Amino acid sequence: EHYGKVEAYNDSTDEVTTAERYSAEYKLSYLMSETDYLYGNIRFVTDRFEDIDQSWAYTGGWGHRFYDEEKFKLSTEVGAGYKTYDYDEAEDREEIIVSGYLDFLYGLTETTDFTQTALVEYGEDNTFVETETALAVAINSSLALKASYTWRHNTDPVDDKKKSDTITALSLTYDF
């Protein structure tokens, strides 16, 4: 199985840019059974306001699908990997990480889904946590309108950067 995700996030207040973040992710999963799989994942992030010129996370591990129905899904992943942080101003970092991921979907109606994801990347220097809670309403078979709340947390951000950040968003998603 192949999974890809591309995100762009920009925000401004009074015509002054207050957030600028871009990310891309690709995951390849090899199904060992109906419930178990091995995966390899690459994730790229650049965030102007967190001083991240580019950050790469390379992880691999084992995943398990507890439920995989059309309107009820629950899966987890656990793995290990390597993460780099190239900062604009601060000293660059790299570290070995242990990663965990949770993916939950519950179909509220035929066209409305509730989703919850959680990612943890634990390293010796920094632990990164990202959760997203969302409600998606299908417009047609490929497009959906999604309302989401994302929380990101770094245990040891560089310089005077905030440890936590939240994003509330309305977005258009495309599934194929």
Report, as an integer, the average pLDDT of 25-46: 97
pLDDT at 176: 77
Question: Does residue 48 sit in helix, strand or coil?
Answer: helix
Q: What are phi and psi of 48, to 5 degrees?
A: -60, -35
Question: Does residue 69 sit in helix, strand or coil?
Answer: coil
Calpha distance 126→120 (Å, rounded): 11
The residue with tokens 């973040």 is 21
Share of the chain above pLDDT 90, in %: 72
Residue 52 scores a pLDDT above 90: no
Share of the chain above pLDDT 70, in %: 100
Calpha distance 117→115 (Å, rounded): 7
Residue 130 scores a pLDDT above 80: yes
**How much is the mean pLDDT over the chain?**
93
pLDDT tens digits for range 61-106:
999 999 999 899 999 999 999 999 998 888 889 999 999 999 999 9
CA angle in degrees (0–180, nearest 5) for 5-27-91: 80
Calpha distance 13→63 (Å, rounded): 41
- pTM (two decimals): 0.90
